[in-house]
Structure 1
Amino acid sequence: MDMQKALMEAFGKTQVQLAGHGARDIAVLKRALAEMEDTLAADMYGSGAVIEEFQAEMAEVLGKESSVFFPSGTMAQQIALRIWSDRAGSRSVAYHPLCHLEIHEQDGLKELHHLEPILLGSADRLITLEDVQSMGPGVACLLLELPQREIGGQLPAYVELEAISAYCREQGIKLHLDGARLFEVLPYYGKTAAEVCALFDSVYVSFYKGIGGIAGAILAGSRDFTETSKIWKRRHGGDLISLYPYIVPARYYYRQRIGNMARYYEQTKELAALFNSCHKVSTLPEVPVSNMFHVHFAIAKERLTPVLIELYKETGIGLTPRLKETGEASCYYEMNIGDLYGEADQTALREMFRLLDERLKTL
């Protein structure tokens, strides 16, 4: 059997899986719908209580004048950059080399909107104030991602973030927040969502990552910005006749889990310390700053995979269903913490890490 397939099958048979909130299956929708009144009317093309009340709630949470619910963050962010580009009369926008728009969207920003991204800074580190100050003239908008997922969920110091925001405002450059995981970084910053978002002209947040809904996103900003975004939403085909199957779970799980973000953060630091106690294992960042980090092994993927498979079978605890090769003798995977981690027996978990360390010593 293919070793990748074997790892996935072994992971699927474990009784305890440490990442996330569990399977995003039909039960996610059923639990959310169970809390709803049958008489609540569906939204229609962006109108109706179910969508308008949630948009108003999220605008207040994010400290913005208005917000719009989108079926996807990909759509919302491309639209945000297009609006700022049109208003500035410039095709140039800037973001990190590993920005989602650059590596996961099949060049949608370039092909659909004909924008010209400037890749700012280096792929292996965060964008700095110096990087921003070195941009040439004519940049309409700078996108910052908090946290920067592709490098382990790293974050700039808050004072650095404030300095970048102030510089952009002085230079007339719009600042957009890719806040797909915004709520997850608030415990580290010790700030409210509104305080962080005050540094940005527009904000996107996701409802299926740390919140654990089915799909959907909010794009927030000034009222004239969001009204323009509604026009582009229709142009993109995102103005579905009804979005309530996504809105209802988004609202339900937001209210259920927003108060757990500090707990997820503390548990993430605890788990990272367990990984870092093992031979040939390190996390990026070493001390997490949100509910996520990357687990790096100084071991070839083909040598590590059978070790993990046996560990899963022996302990019933699953770490990951897949590994990504980074070199001839290295691999990694992404870890994020949600409800499932708190359900794990801590004694059994520590025994599993003892066994992992013991076996990695021999590789």
Structure 2
Amino acid sequence: MSNGTTTLAVAFEKAAYPLGGHGKRNADVLKEAFREIEGSLVSDMYGKGSVIEDFQQQMAEQLGMESAVFFPSGTMAQQIALRIWSDEAGIRRVAYHPLCHLEIHEEDGLKELHHIECVLLADANRLITLADIKDMQDEISCLLLELPQREIGGELPSFDELAAISAYCRSNQIKLHLDGARLFEITPYYQKSASEICALFDSVYVSFYKGIGGIAGAILAGSSSFTEKSKVWKRRHGGDLISLYPYIVSSNYYFQKRIRKMTQYYDGAKELAMLFNQCTKAVTKPGMPQSNMFHVHFGVSKAVLEPILIGIYEATGVGLIHALRELGEKSCYCEISIGDRYAEAPLAQVKAAMQMLDQQLSNVDNVE
């Protein structure tokens, strides 16, 4: 057991084998990306120059879209996408999930900056379905779908359901936008390429600091007319920095390094989830991960579980969880995203840590 002076996050990073993510987000991430970059590399300037234009073209091709624009943040890119579709339709109303990033993490930016009304579809604990969209009473310009739906454990609709939603939106003049922050991470589950998934959407945003592991940055892609409008809004939002090349170089470097590892990450997530589901008082959501990320819910409080985990990290050298969030008096949960680090951990040690967790959780009722 821990002596009570070490926090869970510190113990996780001190462990020989922390299981989640790619590693610490420190200066080495940028140094590695620039290691083989010539000093003669010419910076982009206000969205112009080969370093940004070549990357935008590369990503447009990867996503199967006509054009793409690099943004410093996904928050900016997505608000702009919904503004463009709202202006085109003449309808200042969009729809998305109650736990959409724009609804819970952006201080109402879409509503305050763009005066766009938001319709919340479906129950917060489940995915949006075609039935939800058909039952909607409000006229909307655009429907935003997040794939995977992060706040409920990374759940995904079936591809057939997704295709049916796309067909319905197109037949009813509703633009369909993809919050694809973790788009590349879902390709193994669907057994589809990124471009095959994006073909169902009118516009798409992808992130370069989540599963890809870059410094920061995002791509917004769609038709050429759409992206030209997005460039105007990017300038209005202050997103046309004099140069974005540190973000672009790191995005391109880590994209090339990790794009072929998405199946590895997905398989690691499934393996680890199976081990968690064998532990007393632990259950993953979803039961089997549908991307490289999932949630684990525990039937004990955060205050009880944290010292147990710290003790396991110190005894086995395996860091299972970085942080816990309270759910109730006797429940908590965590989010786990699998990246490069999981493959570095010996499976025998991971299993030993899980067995210790199972034993400790089995004794919780006797201790409380």
Amino acid at match of 2:137: G
Corresponding position of 1:256: 257
Report the counterpart of residue 166 of structure 1 in structure 2.
167
Task: Give TM-score, length-normalised by structure 1.
Answer: 0.98
Determine the structure 2 residue equivalent to 1:296.
297
**C-alpha distance in structure 2 between counterparts of 1:254 and 1:4, whole Å:** 38
| 1:284 equivalent in structure 2 | 285
Q: Which AA in structure 2 matches 1:276?
A: N
Aligned to 2:353: 352
1:282-318, CA deviations, whole angstroms, 9 ceiling, x for partnerless residues?
0001100100000110111111111111111111211
Structure 2: gaps of 5 or more residues: none
Deviation sequence 1:246-299 (CA, Å, 0-9, x none): 000000000110000011111110000000011000000110010000011011
Match of 2:218 in 1: 217
Tell me, in whole angstroms, the C-alpha distance in 1 between the residues paired with 2:6 and 2:181: 30
CA drift of 1:2 comes to: 11
Letter of the structure 2 residue corresponding to residue 25 of structure 1: N
Displacement, 1:155? Answer: 0.1
Which residue number corresponds to residue 322 of structure 1? Answer: 323
Amino acid at match of 2:146: E
Residue of structure 1 equivalent to 2:50: 49
- Measure the CA separation in 1 of the matches of 2:130 and 2:21: 33
What's 2:343 paired with?
Answer: 342
2:180 corresponding residue in structure 1: 179
* 2:207 maps to amino acid: S
Alpha-carbon distance between aligned partners in 1 of 2:38 and 2:211, rounded to the nearest angstrom: 26
Residues 207, 254 of structure 1: 8 Å contact kept:
yes
Q: CA deviation at 1:191?
A: 0.5
Q: Which amino acid aligns with 2:132?
A: D
Counterparts of 2:205 and 2:232, CA distance in 1: 17
Aligned letter for 1:85? S
Number of the residue aligned with 1:197: 198
Q: Is the 8 A contact 1:3 1:305 kept in 2?
A: no
Partner Cα distance (1:76, 1:43) in 2: 19
CA distance in 1, matches of 2:240, 2:191: 36
Match of 2:128 in 1: 127
Determine the C-alpha separation between the residues in 1 that align with 2:198 and 2:359: 45
The whole-number CA distance in structure 2 between the counterparts of 1:4 and 1:74 is 37
Q: Does 1:64 align with 2:65?
A: yes
Query: Partners in 2 of 1:288 and 1:304 — Cα distance?
Result: 23
Superposed CA RMSD in Å reads 1.3
Counterpart of 2:178, as a letter, is L
% same residue: 64
More displaced stretch, 2-11 vs 134-143 = 2-11
SS at match of 1:139: coil
Q: Contact 1:4 / 1:322 at 8 angstroms: preserved in 2?
A: no
User: Which whole-Å deviations, capped at 9, do the CAs of 1:51-86 have from their partners, x for residues lacking one?
Assistant: 000000000000000000000000000000000000
Change (3 A) 1:2 1:44: farther
1:269 is matched with which residue? Answer: 270
Q: How big is each residue's C-alpha offset from its partner over 1:156-177, in whole Å with a ceiling of 9 and x where there is no partner?
A: 0000000000000000000000
How many residues get paired?
363
Uncovered stretches (5+) of structure 1, i.e. residues with no partner: none
